[in-house]
Structure 1
Amino acid sequence: MPSRTVRGAVDIAWWKSFRDVELSSLVERAAAQNLDLKTAAERVIQSVAQRQVAVSQALPHIEGQSSATYNRQSPNGTLSLLTPAPGAPLDYGLFHDGLTSSWQLDLFGRVRRAVEAADANALAAVENRHGVALATVAELTQSYMLLRGTQNRLGIAKRNLGLAEENVELVNTRFRNGVATTLDMAQARAQQATIAATVPPLRAREAKLINAVGLLLGEAPRALEAELRRPRIIPRVPRRVPVGMPGTSIRRRPDVREAEARLHEATAQTGVAVANFYPDVTLNGAASLESLHLANLFTPTSTAFAVGPSFSIPIFEGGRLRGALALSEARQREAAIFFQETVLRAWKEVDDALTDYREAQRRRIEIARSVAENQTALQAARQRYSEGATNFLDVTATQAQLLQSENDLSDSDTQIATDLVNLYRALGGGWEVADVADGADSAPMQTNMIDNGK
C-alpha cells in the first residue's frame, strides 16, 4: 500500500519514522558534531554580544581616571607671557584622581531602534542556525538513503552475476554435449563480464557516500567504513506522512523566519537613520581631586566637579544623513522583496515535493509489476533453452531486462525515501534537533532571551 500525506502536525523527529536505528544514531551525532552547525552556533553568540553592545548605548557610562605626572615649564614658552608668583618653581608634580560620566538621553528613539535591530539580527542568526540544522539532517538522511540504495544495487548485481555464472555453466554443459554453439558460449561469458563490470563503480559510489556521511559528522574519511559497510535494506517510508495545515506549514521553515527577521532588522535600521536627524542630549558629570602635593590630594580644597547637559544638533552634514536614510530605506525595500520571494519559493518547494512524492509512489507500482513479469519471463526462457526450444540470446535479453527492472525498483525505493526527505525539508521539519543536541545548551537560552524581549 503506497504511503500518503495527511493533515496533522509535522513530525519534528521525522527521521525516526523510517525506523532505522543506525540512521537515528547518525542524526543525533551530527547534531552534536557537525562543523557547520557549530559555526552557526558561534554566529548566534556573536549576534547576542552585538545586541549587548547596542543596549549599552542607553545606559550611563562612567570612567575613572588617575594620574601622577612630573612637569617642567619652559621660561621661554607661554610662561613668559605671565608673571609667576614669587618663588614659584618651574618643576612640579601634579596628582589627579577623578570620575567622569555621561548619559545619552534617548529622546527620539535612536538607541531603542538600534536595540530593536540588534534583536532582529540575533533572531535571524538563531533561525540561520536552525536552517543549517535542517539542511544537515536532510543531507545526512539523503546520503544514508543513497548509501543503502547503492548497497541494494550491489546486492542485485551480485545476485545477477550468480545467475550469469549459472548460465555459463548451463551453456558449457550443453556445449560439451554438442547442443550449444560457440555463439552461445560467447554470449553467456559476455553477459557475465558485463554484469561484473557494474560492481566496481557501485563500490566506489558506496565509499564516497560513506565519506559524505562522515564529513557531516565531522569525521575523517573512512572513519565510518566499519560501521556503514555492512549492507542494510533501504528504510521504508511510513504509511502516513503528516504535512501540517495549508497556509501555516511554511511558517515552520527557518529560511522564511530568517527573512522575516531580516526585514524587521532593516525596518529598525531605517528608524535609526530617521532618529539621527534629531538632536542628541547628553547629561555629563565629572568629579575629581587635583593637587600639586600628594599629601593634600584628598582634602576638601582639592575637589573639583562639573555637571550639566550637552546638546548636539546636526546643522550641515553635506547630505550624509539624507544619504544614510535613503540607503536604509532601499535596504528595507530589498528585504521586503526578498521576504516575498522566500515565501513564494517555499510554497513552490512544498508543492513540488508533494507532487514528486506522490508520483514516485505511482511509478514504483508499475516497476514492481515489471520486475515480477521479468522474473517469470527469465524462468521461462531458461527452461525453454535447457529444453532446446530457443536460443541463448532470448535468455540473455530476458536477464538484461530483469536486471534493469530490479535496478529501477531499487532506485525507485531510494527515490521515494529521498523525496520524503525533501518533503520534510520543504516543510521545515527537524531543525529542533539543534536545540536539544548535547553541547548546544546555550542556543536555546539565547533564543528564549530574544523571544522574550530581554
Structure 2
Amino acid sequence: MRKTFILVLAALAGCNAAGPEFVPPVSGLPDAAFVASAKTAAPDPEWWAKFRDPLLTALVREVADANLDVQTATLRVAESRFQRGVTASAQMPSLNGDAKVTREQYSKNGILSLMNGLVPGGLDVPPITDHFVGFDAAWEIDIWGRVRRSVEAADAQVQVSEDQRRDALVSVMAETARDYIQLRGVQVQIGVLRDNVKVAEGVLKLADERQAKGMQSALDTENARSQLEAYRAQIPPLEQQESELINALSFLSDQPPGALKARLGVSRKAFALASAPTGIVSDLARRRPDIRAAEAQLHAATAQTGVAEASFYPSITLSGQAGLDSLNTNNLLRASSFQWSVGPSVSVPIFEGGKLKNTLELRETQQQEAALAYRKTVLRAWHDVVNALVALRSEQARYARLTDQVSHARKAASIARDRYRDGVTEFINVLDAERTALSAEQQQAQSATTLGVDQVLLYKALGGGWEGTFPAE
C-alpha cells in the first residue's frame, strides 16, 4: 500500500506544469543581406583584427580580461548559477538530524488532576527527562509544477546573466577600439600640424630674407609669423585629447592614469580601415547579446507566470520522522526505543485576501512587459545596423572627396610658395594656399577617424566579438 502511494505521488509529480509553455518569439527581422555580397557570411567575430594593428588587437584582449565591468558581469553569472542551485534544491527532499534532551514537570492542576479521584491521595508525577536522537525528512510533491517552473525561470535568468556578460564584452571591446582609433586620429592631426609648423617656419625664413633685401614690407613677415603661431596654438588642445584618450584606455584595462603612455604615446601612422562586414539581418537575433538576453528575460517571466498559477492549487508534502526516544539514557540505544512516523500533509489555499490573484496578474503583466521589451530590443538592433551602415557609406564618400581635395590643396600650396619665391605672386596667396591645405589635411584626418569609428559602431551593432571570449554553451 505504501509503495503504491509513493508511486502515485511520483507519477503526479511528473504531470505537466501549470502555466503557459514558453515559445521563442519571432524576431521579425528580414532574411536579407545588410550588405550586398556575392558570398554573404557572418561578420568575423574578431573584427578588431581587420584594422591590422597588433597593438589594438592586444589591447582588446587585455581589456576583455581585465575590465571591471566585465569582471562584475562575470560575478553576476556566478550569482545567477548559485541562485539556480538554491531554487533547484526544492526539487529534492530535505533531511535534518535532531538530538534533544527535555526536562519536564507536569502540573498537578492540569491533566493530572483528572486522576485525583482514581488514585488515593492524587497522582504525583516527578519531573521526567526525555532523550531523543533521530532525523526528520520532508518532500514537497511538485504535482502542479510550481518548483519546476521556478527552476525554469532560474535557468532563464542564468541565460540572461550570461548574455549580459557578453553584451558587456561587446561594449568594452568596441569602446576600446573606438578610443584607440580616436587616439591615432588625434596623433595624426598633431603630426599634420607639426609638419605645417615646419613649412610655416620655412615660409617665415623666406619672408625674412625678402624683407632684408627690401623686396617686401614687414607686413608680409608679420603675417607669416602670425600664421606660424596659429599652427603652434592648435597643438596643445590636441595633446590634451591625446592624454585623455590614453587615460581612457588605461581605465578600460583597469590600470592607473598614464599607465599606457609608453605604449600609446608615440605617434604612429594612421590605422588601416577595415572592410565592411556582410551578413543576414535575421542573424542578429542569434548574435546580439542584448536580443538574446531579452528573449531569456521573456522566458523567465513566462515561467514565473506558471509559478503564480500553481500557487492556486493544493500543495502536498510527504514528511516523516524516525529516531530513538527514551526517558533513560541506558535504554536509548536499544531497539525498543525506536519510533517513527510518516505521512502526507495537504495545504489548500482558501482565503489569501486577493494575494494569489494579484500575484498572477502581476506575473502576466510582467510577461507582457518582457514581450514588449524584446520587440523594442529587436527593433533598436535593426535601427542600429541600418544607421551604422548609412553613416559608414556617407563617411566613405566624404573621405574619398577629402582625399582628392588634400592632393589638390598640397599642389596649390607648393605652387604658391614657388611663385612667391620667384617674386611672381603676393604673399597673401601663399598664406591662403597654406591655410586651405592645412584645413583639408585636418578634415581628412578627422574623416579617417570618423570612418574607423563608424566601422567599430557597425561591428558593435552586429553584436559580434563575444564568441571567442565567452562562447555560448
User: TM-score by structure 2 length?
Assistant: 0.88
Say whether the 8 Å CA contact 1:133–1:433 is kept in structure 2.
Answer: no
**Aligned partner of 2:394: which letter?**
E
Say whether the 8 Å CA contact 2:112–2:123 is kept in structure 1.
Answer: no
Instruction: State the Cα distance separating 1:388 from its structure 2 match.
Output: 2.3
The residue number in structure 2 matching 1:229 is: 265
Which string of whole-angstrom CA distances, capped at 9 and with x for unpartnered residues, describes residues 347-373 of structure 1? 000011111111111111100111011
SS at the partner of 2:282? coil
The residue number in structure 2 matching 1:169 is: 205
The residue number in structure 2 matching 1:18 is: 51
| Structure 2 CA distance for partners of 1:221 and 1:5, relative to 1, 3 Å | farther
The number of residue pairs the alignment matches comes to: 432
Which string of whole-angstrom CA distances, capped at 9 and with x for unpartnered residues, describes residues 215-271 of structure 1? 111111101111111111222123x43321232234310001100110111111111
State how far apart, in whole Å, the 2-side matches of 1:348 and 1:214 are. Answer: 31
Please tell me whether residue 42 in structure 1 is matched to residue 75 in structure 2.
Answer: yes
State how far apart, in whole Å, the 2-side matches of 1:244 and 1:107 are. Answer: 47
Which string of whole-angstrom CA distances, capped at 9 and with x for unpartnered residues, describes residues 124-156 of structure 1? 100000000000100000000001111101100
**Aligned partner of 2:173: which letter?**
V
Please tell me whether residue 89 in structure 1 is matched to residue 126 in structure 2.
Answer: yes
Within the candidate set 61, 66, 71, 2:99 is matched to: 66
SS at the partner of 2:304? helix
Which string of whole-angstrom CA distances, capped at 9 and with x for unpartnered residues, describes residues 319-367 of structure 1? 0001001100110111001100110100000011111111111111100
**Aligned partner of 1:89: which letter?**
P
More moved, 122-131 vs 178-187: 178-187
Say whether the 8 Å CA contact 1:250–1:347 is kept in structure 2.
Answer: no
Please tell me whether residue 148 in structure 1 is matched to residue 193 in structure 2.
Answer: no
Within the candidate set 149, 155, 161, 1:125 is matched to: 161
State how far apart, in whole Å, the 2-side matches of 1:10 and 1:159 are. Answer: 38
State how far apart, in whole Å, the 1-side matches of 2:330 and 2:347 are. Answer: 40
Within the candidate set 362, 370, 382, 1:327 is matched to: 362
Say whether the 8 Å CA contact 1:250–1:428 is kept in structure 2.
Answer: no
State how far apart, in whole Å, the 2-side matches of 1:274 and 1:117 are. Answer: 14
Q: Aligned runs of 1:34-433 on 2, under 5 Å?
A: 34-69=67-102, 71=103, 73=105, 78=110, 81=113, 88-90=125-127, 92-238=128-274, 240-433=275-468
| Structure 2 CA distance for partners of 1:247 and 1:94, relative to 1, 3 Å | same
State how far apart, in whole Å, the 1-side matches of 2:323 and 2:297 are. Answer: 46
Which string of whole-angstrom CA distances, capped at 9 and with x for unpartnered residues, describes residues 166-196 of structure 1? 1111111111111121211111111111110
| Structure 2 CA distance for partners of 1:229 and 1:244, relative to 1, 3 Å | same
State how far apart, in whole Å, the 2-side matches of 1:379 and 1:346 are. Answer: 49
| Structure 2 CA distance for partners of 1:267 and 1:75, relative to 1, 3 Å | closer
Instruction: State the Cα distance separating 1:86 from its structure 2 match.
Output: 6.8
**Aligned partner of 1:355: which letter?**
V
Instruction: State the Cα distance separating 1:74 from its structure 2 match.
Output: 6.9
State how far apart, in whole Å, the 1-side matches of 2:273 and 2:416 are. Answer: 35
State how far apart, in whole Å, the 2-side matches of 1:243 and 1:45 are. Answer: 35
User: Where does the alignment leave 5 or more consecutive residues of structure 1 unmatched?
Assistant: 436-443, 449-454
**Aligned partner of 1:28: which letter?**
R
Say whether the 8 Å CA contact 2:277–2:459 is kept in structure 1.
Answer: no
**Aligned partner of 2:105: which letter?**
Q
**Aligned partner of 2:195: which letter?**
R
State how far apart, in whole Å, the 2-side matches of 1:77 and 1:204 are. Answer: 92
State how far apart, in whole Å, the 2-side matches of 1:188 and 1:379 are. Answer: 16
Say whether the 8 Å CA contact 1:37–1:129 is kept in structure 2.
Answer: yes
SS at the partner of 1:298? coil
State how far apart, in whole Å, the 2-side matches of 1:410 and 1:160 are. Answer: 14
Instruction: State the Cα distance separating 1:77 from its structure 2 match.
Output: 6.8
Which string of whole-angstrom CA distances, capped at 9 and with x for unpartnered residues, describes residues 271-318 of structure 1? 111111111011111112122222111112222211110101111110
Instruction: State the Cα distance separating 1:75 from its structure 2 match.
Output: 5.4
Say whether the 8 Å CA contact 2:285–2:292 is kept in structure 1.
Answer: no
Say whether the 8 Å CA contact 1:31–1:433 is kept in structure 2.
Answer: no
User: TM-score by structure 1 length?
Assistant: 0.91
Provide the aligned C-alpha RMSD in A. 1.8
State how far apart, in whole Å, the 2-side matches of 1:268 and 1:138 are. Answer: 34
| Structure 2 CA distance for partners of 1:250 and 1:315, relative to 1, 3 Å | closer
Say whether the 8 Å CA contact 2:201–2:228 is kept in structure 1.
Answer: yes
SS at the partner of 2:262? helix
State how far apart, in whole Å, the 1-side matches of 2:468 and 2:245 are. Answer: 23
